[in-house]
Homo-oligomer: A and B are copies of this chain.
Amino acid sequence: MIGSGNVATHMALALYKAGLNITAVFSRNISNAEYLASKVEAKATDRLKDIPNDADLYLVSVKDSAVAAVAKNLELNENIVAHTAGAISQDVLKPASKNYGVFYPLQTFSKNKELNFNEIPLCIEAANRQTEDHLMDLAKKISGRVYSINEEQRQILHVAAVFVSNFTNYMFHLAEDITSHHKIDPEILRPLIRETVHKLQHMSAYHAQTGPAARGDENTMNKHLELLRQFPELKEVYKMMSEAIMKRH
């Protein structure tokens, strides 16, 4: 396992729990490497030269900007190497081995927040059939949702994930802001949030759209903008989102 961040940690633990043997954990920061290594009975190192040369798979789970540099410094012969990034081409791994691919978990990972890995979609891509088969087999050992996808699809999923997770979370953040400011516990919004998501099991988001913008209720929208007058950030988001929703509906 090359890396010791959120994704590397969750991934290493999932593989370890599935009975896989993780031989070593690399991190530029040796204490991070040691911490993760201790949890998965692996050897820790902060030097790429020192990682074992006989592993079946080298998983590169470092920040996007470091993947290519790591690949250039790996000497793998023909061992399989895969990265876990959503937005990076698999081809950056070419310098390390001819058997390369992608092992991308479509999920949001936080430190200290356990996840049921079996529910996490794993998106697999590879430079050749043999590598793909190997990565698919491995993926199926830790997840019930394994997909073979191509690079364009993976990159589109990475953008889509920004919309449904990062931007959505920002909406929650803005709502927390304004409720807290008015001495309301944001907890009261939780059932509504849950139902908004739950609805998607029964209808498309297009058909699930409700609210003043979707029904063109200018009266309510103007009232809302008036209520938001002291919150320029929320006001701007409100305007833009409402205009976009009105256009669609």
Q: Is the interface of A mostly helix, strand, loop or mixed?
A: helix
Once bound together, how far apart are the Cα atoms of A214 and B166, in whole Å?
8
In contact, B110 and A210 (Cβ under 8 angstroms): yes
In contact, A171 and B182 (Cβ under 8 angstroms): no
In contact, B171 and A163 (Cβ under 8 angstroms): yes
> Is A30 part of the binding interface, using a Cβ–Cβ cutoff of 8 Å?
no
In contact, B191 and A178 (Cβ under 8 angstroms): no
Q: Which residues of B contact A173 (CB under 8 A)?
A: 204-206, 209, 248
Contacting B at CB under 8 A, from A52-66, are 64-65
Instruction: From the candidates B165, B176, B241, name the one contacting A210 in the complex (CB within 8 A).
Output: B165
Q: Which of A172, A190, A212, A233 has the most CB of B within 10 A?
A: A172
Residues of A at under 8 Å CB distance from B?
Answer: 64-65, 87, 106-110, 113, 115, 119-121, 145, 147, 149, 152-153, 155-176, 178-179, 182-184, 186, 188-197, 199-206, 208-214, 217, 219-220, 223-224, 227-228, 233-234, 236-238, 240-241, 244-245, 247-248
Given contacts A121-B192, A167-B171, A169-B205, 15 further A-B contacts (CB under 8 A): A119-B191, A155-B227, A157-B179, A160-B186, A162-B213, A164-B172, A164-B193, A166-B241, A169-B196, A169-B209, A170-B244, A173-B205, A193-B197, A197-B197, A236-B244
